[in-house]
Amino acid sequence: MSAAPHPLAGGVIGTWIKLPAIESVQIAAHAGFGFVVIDQEHAPLDVRTAYELVTVADALGVLPLVRVADGRPSGVQRLLDAGAAGVLVPHVDTVDQARDAVSAVRFPPVGRRGAGGTSRAGRWGLRSREEYLASGAHSLCIPQIESREAAGNAGAIAALDGVDALFVGAADIGLDVGTPPSATEVTDLCARARTAAHEAGKPCGAATASATGARALLADGFDFVVVGNDTSMLAEAAVATVAGVRNGGTP
């Protein structure tokens, strides 16, 4: 029997969810996004809200990922027990930090995630212990590469057992090196991380604000792309609507 395809391979596109509203996830699903990333790092979303957004995404057949605020095991565990398909862990610069992320996601003996079989992930105790623990092997651990140091360590990070993909953050790499995200140095570091992920047999993703940017990233060889976010899409549509009424479409 052939292995199941990686859920983040093949050019799948997703979007950030920053609003505490299930409608954002519903709209993303109806629009055709393959996954959503519920953003706890740069949006004020608490665990209960993330739980509700994950549940809606899962019910609509959209892969629910969560970008956690940090890699603390307690936060990661609660989101995985809420039913998140995986987590993006910000600012993983070193192999040791990547090991910590893996440990937070995986059950023993691979990691240190605690058993919570009475959670949603365990169907509130209706899943057998064996089924619940086996499901944890499919939880996605995705370190974010967001600095020059991280890009240099990307190969070793991607090669770790338990790391399922890398996600490259060009904006933060730009902040780290002191240049705009479009600068050659940043794009070279992103390309280095992408190549390292592929050499380890892992997908690599990135983010962009537009469909044009997403097409470019996919053409460059990124396997999955996060395009825009619910708040910016709403803001841009609002500005365009007002401009269209007041001055014929000129913002």
pLDDT given at position 247 = 83
Q: Identify the residue with better confidence: 251 or 162.
A: 162
**How far is 234 from 40, CA to CA, in rounded Å?**
19
Domain assignment of residue 168, yes or no: yes
Average pLDDT, the chain: 95
**Do residues 208 and 190 lie in contact, with contact meaning Cβ atoms separated by under 8 Å?**
no
Look up the pTM and report it: 0.94
pLDDT given at position 53 = 98
Q: What is the mean pLDDT of residues 32-44?
A: 98
Tell me the pLDDT band of 79, cut-offs 50, 70 and 90. Answer: very high
Whether residue 2 is predicted with pLDDT greater than 70 in this model: the reply is: no
Q: What's the pLDDT tens digit per position in 16-30?
A: 999 999 999 999 999
Q: What is the mean pLDDT of residues 182-186?
A: 96
Tell me the pLDDT band of 249, cut-offs 50, 70 and 90. Answer: low
Domain assignment of residue 231, yes or no: yes
Domain assignment of residue 165, yes or no: yes
Task: Give the range of the structural domain holding residue 232, as residue numbers without chain letter.
Answer: 12-247
Q: What's the pLDDT tens digit per position in 99-121?
A: 999 999 999 999 999 999 999 99
Domain assignment of residue 57, yes or no: yes
Whether residue 251 is predicted with pLDDT greater than 80 in this model: the reply is: no
Domain CATH for 17: 3.20.20.60
Domain assignment of residue 3, yes or no: no
Give Dmax (Cα) for the chain. Answer: 64
**Do residues 7 and 140 lie in contact, with contact meaning Cβ atoms separated by under 8 Å?**
yes
Whether residue 242 is predicted with pLDDT greater than 70 in this model: the reply is: yes
Helices (H), the chain: 22-31, 47-59, 73-81, 95-105, 129-135, 148-152, 154-159, 170-177, 184-199, 211-220, 230-247
Q: Annotated active-site positions, please?
A: 42
Q: How many domains does the chain have?
A: 1
Tokens at residue 194, please?
């992408």
Domain assignment of residue 1, yes or no: no
* Beta-strand pair 12-17/204-208: unpaired
pLDDT given at position 1 = 42
Q: What's the pLDDT tens digit per position in 198-211?
A: 999 999 999 999 99
Query: Phi-psi bin for 152: left (phi > 0), alpha (psi -120 to 50), beta?
Result: alpha
Q: What's the pLDDT tens digit per position in 47-76?
A: 999 999 999 999 999 999 999 999 899 999
Domain assignment of residue 6, yes or no: no
